[in-house]
Amino acid sequence: MTIKTTNLGFPRLGRKREWKKAIENYWNQAITKAELDETLLNLQRENLLLQKNHHLDSVPVGDFSLYDHILDTSLLFNIIPERFQGREVDDDLLFDIARGNKEHVASALIKWFNTNYHYIVPEWDNVTPKLGRHIILERFNYAKSLNINAHPVIVGPITFVKLSKGGDQSLEEKVRTLLPLYIEAFEALIQAGAELIQVDEPVLVTDDGEDLEAITREAYEAFAGAEVAQKLIIQTYFERANVKFLSSLPVKGFGLDFVHDRGENLKQIKNGDFDASKTLFAGIIDGRNVWAADVQAKKALIETLATYTDDLYINPSSSLLHVPVSLDDETLDETVRDGLSFATEKLEELDALKRAINEGNHEKLDTLQAQYERFQNQDFKNLTYDFDSVRASRESKFETRKVLQQERLNLPDLPTTTIGSFPQSPEVRKKRADWKNNRISNEEYETFLKAEIGRWIEIQEDIGLDVFVHGEFERNDMVEFFGEKLQGFLVTKFGWVQSYGSRAVKPPIIYGDVKWTAPLTVKETVYAQSLTDKPVKGMLTGPVTILNWSFERVDLPREEVQNQIALAINEEVLALEEAGIKVIQVDEPALREGLPLRKAYHEDYLRKAVHSFKLATSSVADHTQIHTHMCYSQFGQIIHAIHELDADVISIETSRSHGDLIKDFEDINYDLGIGLGVYDIHSPRIPTEDEITIAIQRGLQQIDRSLFWVNPDCGLKTRKEAEVKDALNVLVNSAKKLRQHTTTPTA
């Protein structure tokens, strides 16, 4: 038996976020376009050579991007939003589509399946598809110049169109429009020497996959008719696929996820659904989590798969975009380090497996297995929990709570607030870094934080907001901050992953039992409240989001870990209430993100998620107002679960979706407080008063005015101070003018 190794994609960020820093420096005009291009080319070269040096039989190209691979595909085929058309198709256009500019809003930003990565939604209104600059071909030729055996990666036509919006054509018509362009792109790559082309079709693992089979067959038969299909590998990931259907397509082979498929893909193969003449790309190393593989178990899986095909590649279960680059720069206790595997280490695991199977060389495999077993034998599970002792529902119904809260808070019609964070200026980041590296004292750092909190309380007073926040200047990230303070979490130094665009997060790693041991946010929140008569929100992250945005442990049932976190957050909620905080926001932006791709698993996931949130928030008194927040997701599937959270107020994104979210409320009597985000904080442009007024009016067509709040889409930490002040002034002025109307004007 002989196997080969490959990869589906590598992190773009760089070991120390070189990619992010270069792009942001270009946006800030600190470097030229030529300097940006040189930096990114060097990083691309480093990524390619690193993968080559791990003896991959084929290295992916086309996974590298200046922003997002879906947006790259849009530009490849000239699917350019109508408002941006007429310009040269270059990198500046790409950035404007993604971020917006002074004239035009950005394209919508949506979660990539059930991950924390976000893609830019393609827009089909009044487009003229054509093959543009073939950036994938350029990157393939660059890899060839480095003497690297590479395979191009491209988003497939079914997935690309399914993730698009707009236009008068049906999905099938859009796919047919693109087929000649895909063929042209494939032919250019084959002429350049591509032996394999990875065509990513993850949409086929969703419930929509069955409905898409007819157009999928039509598309790939068209590729066969053009004599390009025998170079194509259809790649799926994140869930089970229909193996029998994939086997029937006229392509060289296909890829399956054997990590996140709940065992279903292997079951289908054993049932005889796999065509043994196809090449199988087996995703056996977890591409989405950081735990070291049980390489002996993986070796056994490979040996099983090899009985069903003579042409077997092994690879990660998905692109490694979702994990950090390398452990090399981390200083971690060896007992935990033994259990970890970042992108580079996952390539080591693949190489060890290939050496053991192809050469009988078990040295590296045995070393990795010994490390894995040392970690597994550590005892991190020694706490007991009484989940039943904590209340999982509010004492009274919302109608009662609402009256008590209004008596206590005395809020105006259409109250205004923000989501939580204010700009993390270079000075804020420098002070935090100085403090963490012991360059300034605790006293000096605390004095700085108090000054910054006080300054922004005064700014909020001047703007005229109704419910304030302290600004979160002491926090690096809304999940990592809690990971640093709760027992059972590990925080890395360079464990960054891309979330959207240049935005990177550093997910904490849950390796043991979770416990609250001391107040986390009370000091800063109480200080802010002491400076104003307006209510200041306590700002927390909810248990579902902390779990989804961490690298979770896999040795316990997911819901048990989630409920451990819920008890910890409940302790902090009660500590804030005890300290006199009247409004407490527990954010759950990742609740929708964690929704399984198959509907069969939705009810169980949502039931457990709702229970965890309520476990974290229900112990407060009726007069304490609980807020939550969700952003940048498709909410229709979970609107009933959102209602079941029983939060007094939820703030939710609508600006990039241009009010489409309102449709989700048509089939539910939403009788809780709600703030529809009325401007996009991910774009540097300042909204006009008309834009915000229209957004508010649109929401009031569907939502009772007495329940309606006015707020931005998300936190403001990534924006500049002047942008924030200008935008919030527009927001408050719009709300104040609308308060003069006793009835809702027609939008």
What residue ranges in 112-225 does DSSP mark as E strands? 118-120, 150-155, 197-200
Instruction: Write the CB contacts of 17 (distance below 8 Å, at least 6 apart in sequence).
Output: 496, 504
Q: Is 680 annotated as a binding residue?
A: no
Rg (alpha carbons) of the chain, rounded to whole number = 26
Q: Which of 134, 623, 682, 741 is catalytic?
A: 682
**Cα gap 447→521, rounded to integer Å:** 16
Q: Does residue 289 register a pLDDT over 60? A: yes
Tens of pLDDT, residues 383-407: 889 999 999 999 999 999 999 999 9
Containing H/E element for 549?
A: none
**Cα gap 101→256, rounded to integer Å:** 40
Q: Is 421 annotated as a binding residue?
A: yes
Q: How far apart are the first and last CA of the chain?
A: 68
Tokens at residue 409, please?
Answer: 């808070």
Tokens at residue 180, please?
Answer: 């000649």
Tens of pLDDT, residues 438-476: 999 999 999 999 999 999 999 999 999 999 999 999 998
**Cα gap 112→499, rounded to integer Å:** 10
Q: What global pTM score does this model have?
A: 0.90
Tens of pLDDT, residues 220-251: 999 999 999 999 999 999 999 999 999 999 99
Q: Is 19 annotated as a binding residue?
A: yes
Q: Does residue 290 register a pLDDT over 70? A: yes
Q: Is 184 annotated as a binding residue?
A: no
| Per-residue pLDDT band at 373 (split at 50, 70, 90) | very high
Dihedral-angle region of residue 331 (phi above 0 means left; psi in -120 to 50 means alpha; beta otherwise): beta
**Cα gap 502→497, rounded to integer Å:** 10
CB 346 within 8 A of CB 323: yes
CB 146 within 8 A of CB 103: no
**Cα gap 530→524, rounded to integer Å:** 10
- Residue 623 is a catalytic residue: no
Q: Does residue 304 register a pLDDT over 50? A: yes
CB 323 within 8 A of CB 497: yes
Q: Does residue 161 register a pLDDT over 50? A: yes
Mean pLDDT of 689-694: 89
Q: Is 172 annotated as a binding residue?
A: no
The upper half-sphere exposure of residue 116, i.e. CA atoms within 13 Å in the direction of its Cβ, equals 27
Q: Is 420 annotated as a binding residue?
A: yes
CB 5 within 8 A of CB 351: yes
Q: Is 435 annotated as a binding residue?
A: no
Q: Which of 40, 79, 62, 160 is nearest to 112 (CA)?
A: 160
**Cα gap 449→303, rounded to integer Å:** 57
Sheet with 279-285, side-by-side order of all strands: 4-5, 312-316, 279-285, 253-257, 232-235, 197-200, 150-155, 59-61
Q: Is 623 annotated as a binding residue?
A: no
**Cα gap 481→499, rounded to integer Å:** 17
**Cα gap 258→287, rounded to integer Å:** 11
- ∠ CA 628-289-115 to the nearest 5 degrees? 45
CB 272 within 8 A of CB 252: no
CB 572 within 8 A of CB 516: yes
Q: Is 291 annotated as a binding residue?
A: no
Q: Does residue 746 register a pLDDT over 50? A: no
Q: Is 303 annotated as a binding residue?
A: no
Tokens at residue 452, please?
Answer: 């910054």
Q: Does residue 744 register a pLDDT over 60? A: no
Tens of pLDDT, residues 567-599: 999 999 999 999 999 999 999 988 988 889 999
Q: What percent of the chain has pLDDT over 70?
A: 97
Helices (H), 54-152: 69-76, 91-99, 135-145
Instruction: Write the CB contacts of 512 (distance below 8 Å, at least 6 apart in sequence).
Output: 380, 381, 487, 488, 553
Q: Which pLDDT value is given to residue 700?
A: 87
CB 58 within 8 A of CB 156: no
Q: Do strands 487-490 and 509-515 pair parallel, antiparallel, or not at all (unpaired)?
A: antiparallel
Q: Do strands 312-316 and 583-587 pair parallel, antiparallel, or not at all (unpaired)?
A: unpaired
**Cα gap 477→50, rounded to integer Å:** 29
How many CB atoms neighbour CB 410 within 10 A? 9
| Per-residue pLDDT band at 62 (split at 50, 70, 90) | very high
Q: Which of 542, 472, 474, 545 is nearest to 507 (CA)?
A: 545
